[in-house]
Structure 1
Amino acid sequence: MATPEFIRHLRNSIGRQLLWLPGVSAVVFDDQGRVLLGKRADTGGWSVIGGIPEPGEQPAETAMREVYEETAVRVVAEGVVLVETMPPTHYPNGDVCQFMDVTLRCRAVGGEAKVNDDESLEVGWFDVDALPELEEYALTRIKRALEAGPTWFHTMEEEPEGQQP
Structure 2
Amino acid sequence: MATPEFIRDLRTSIGRQLLWLPGVSAVVFDDRGRVLLGKRVDTGGWSVIGGIPEPGEQPAETAVREVYEETAVRVVPEEVVLIETMPPTHYPNGDVCQFMDVTLRCRAIGGEARVNDDESLEVGWFAVDALPELKEYALTRIKRALEAGPTWFQGMGEEPPAEQP
Distance 1:157 1:128 in 2: 29
Seen in structure 2, the aligned counterparts of structure 1 residues 13 and 163 have a Cα distance that, compared at 3 Å, is farther
Q: Which amino acid is the alignment partner of residue 67 of structure 1? A: V
Q: Distance in 2 between matches of 1:13 and 1:156?
A: 35
* 1:65-100 superposed Cα distances (whole Å, 9 cap, x missing partner): 000000000000000000000000000000000000
**Structure 1 residues 53-132: aligned runs within 5 Å:** 53-132=53-132
Cross-structure match for 2:2:
2
Partner of 1:23: 23
Aligned-residue sequence identity (percent) comes to 88
Greater than 3 Å deviation, 4+ residue runs:
156-159, 162-165
In the alignment, the residues of structure 2 paired with residue 137 and residue 156 of structure 1 have an alpha-carbon distance, to the nearest angstrom, of 18
Provide the C-alpha distance between the structure 2 equivalents of 1:84 and 1:114, rounded to a whole number of angstroms. 29
- Change beyond 3 A, Cα 1:12–1:164: farther
SS in 2 for 1:44: coil
TM-score with structure 1 setting the length: 0.95
CA 1:97–1:164: 2 relative to 1, 3 Å: farther
Go from structure 1 to structure 2 and tell me whether the alpha carbon gap of 1:100 and 1:150 turns closer, same or farther (over 3 Å shift). same
Quick check: 1:34 aligned with 2:34?
A: yes
In the alignment, the residues of structure 2 paired with residue 44 and residue 158 of structure 1 have an alpha-carbon distance, to the nearest angstrom, of 34
Q: Secondary structure at the match of 2:28?
A: strand
Task: Give 5+ residue unaligned stretches, structure 1.
Answer: none
- What secondary structure is seen at the aligned counterpart in 2 of 1:137? helix
1:155 shift after superposition? 1.1
Measured at CA, do residues 98 and 117 of structure 1 come closer, stay the same or move farther in structure 2, by a change above 3 Å? same
The count of aligned residue pairs is: 163
Task: Measure, in 1, the Cα distance between the counterparts of 2:90 and 2:156.
Answer: 23
**Structure 2-normalised TM-score?**
0.95
Distance 1:5 1:164 in 2: 40
The 5 Å alignment of 1:137-148 reads 137-148=137-148
* 2:104 alignment partner, SS class: strand
